[in-house]
Amino acid sequence: MQFQLLLEDIVATLRPQLGLAGQVANYIPALARVPAAQLGIALRTCDGEEAHAGDGTTQFSIQSISKLFTLALGMRELGEALWERIGREPSGNPFNSLVQLESEHGIPRNPFINAGAIAVTDRLVSRFDARAEMLAFLSSLCQEPVVVDQEVAASEAATGFRNIALANFMKSFGRLDNEVTAVLGAYFHHCAIRMSCLQLARATGFLSRDGAHPFTGAQVLTERQARRVNALMLTCGTYDAAGEFAFRIGLPCKSGVGGGIVAVVPDRLTLCVWSPALEHSGNSLLGMKALELFTAKTGLSIF
């Protein structure tokens, strides 16, 4: 398949729509300043072929895409014990919602809503320097140094009232082992990591290769664990729009409010799209359209 031509075609098709609809995330001031009219796409196949188009090598704030890597580290470090304090069901609620936490005794529905990622981060903070470990993990996966945007991290910390509430709520139920400030410090830094579509297409490669590292082939996760991450991406990876994603795109995806979305075609390739303007659930509007075009044109889907 001519992936390079295909990605260029998708960008050319969508470019006239840039800046017309959707809104850049505005609840984090440093993200509200990002120009909306950008669109990037990149992929890497299991054989190592790469392609990118538009702004595919521009770095952006990965935001909730980091939750994928937090989960992978949590699975690697804790195995089955990870699931003691976290569920595996879609929440059907916005990613930063507090409502279910009360009735469900401080146990988040899944690792991809904010409360879930904060709970997994707590377990990581108990084991090692979670900020440094995450950067080392991502740098190894994409074979390039990965860094945190300190301005975004500070902006999140200054305005993260809901996340502070979520963490305190879980702490009140005895579900966090560490101090709220330590856990949130790591969580905000993970969200504020900057990467490009191409770097994310590389870094997620282990999810299309049954857990094997995209460059070295070493097992990052077991085959079973990698499949489970994909299952959770399909059911919970795009907030309360996961049903719409399965319906329109048909691939396991994980999105972030920076406008990035990663998608996995098991045994074939990993793909990342980025465009900062979001729809109402917090998913990239043109990113969703780009993924829909990609699956329509290639026929690639898990269904």
Selecting among 67, 171, 254, 289, the annotated active-site residue is 67
The sign of the CA dihedral 46, 51, 52, 53 is negative
Query: Contact between 270 and ligand GLN (CB under 6 A)?
Result: no
x/- site string to ligand GLN, residues 186 to 225, per CB under 6 A? -----x----------------------------------
Query: Contact between 272 and ligand GLN (CB under 6 A)?
Result: no
3-state secondary structure of 8: helix
| Distance in Å, CB of 160 to ligand GLN, minimum | 6
Rounded Cα–Cα distance for residues 74 and 178 (Å)? 16
Specify the residue, 95 or 294, whose C-beta has the smaller distance to ligand GLN: 95
- Residues touching ligand GLN, count (CB under 6 A): 11
Catalytic residue status for 239:
yes
The residues, ordered by sequence, that sit 6+ positions from 101 with a Cβ below 8 Å of its Cβ are 107, 108, 115, 166, 169, 170
Selecting among 220, 257, 262, 265, the annotated active-site residue is 257
Rounded Cα–Cα distance for residues 176 and 31 (Å)? 28
Catalytic residue status for 97:
no
The residues, ordered by sequence, that sit 6+ positions from 33 with a Cβ below 8 Å of its Cβ are none
Rounded Cα–Cα distance for residues 106 and 299 (Å)? 41
Contact pick of 3, 60, 69, 95 for ligand GLN (by CB under 6 A): 95
Query: Contact between 38 and ligand GLN (CB under 6 A)?
Result: no
Query: Contact between 70 and ligand GLN (CB under 6 A)?
Result: no
x/- site string to ligand GLN, residues 156 to 175, per CB under 6 A? x------x------------
Catalytic residue status for 64:
yes
Specify the residue, 192 or 293, whose C-beta has the smaller distance to ligand GLN: 192
Query: Contact between 273 and ligand GLN (CB under 6 A)?
Result: no
Rounded Cα–Cα distance for residues 77 and 29 (Å)? 34
Q: Are 287 and 262 in contact (CB under 8 A)?
A: no
Rounded Cα–Cα distance for residues 39 and 21 (Å)? 13
Contact pick of 40, 87, 205, 256 for ligand GLN (by CB under 6 A): 256
Query: Contact between 111 and ligand GLN (CB under 6 A)?
Result: no
Selecting among 91, 97, 146, 239, the annotated active-site residue is 239
Q: Rounded to whole angstroms, what are the CA distances from 84 to 87, 128, 264, 295? A: 8, 19, 27, 36
Cβ-count burial 263-275 (b if 16+ within 10 Å, e if not): bbbbebbbbbbbb
In DSSP terms, which residues pair with 253 in a beta bridge?
Answer: 263
| Distance in Å, CB of 187 to ligand GLN, minimum | 7
Q: Write out the catalytic residue numbers.
A: 64, 67, 187, 239, 257
Instruction: Return residues touching ligand GLN (CB under 6 A).
Output: 63-64, 95-96, 114, 156, 163, 191, 256-257, 282
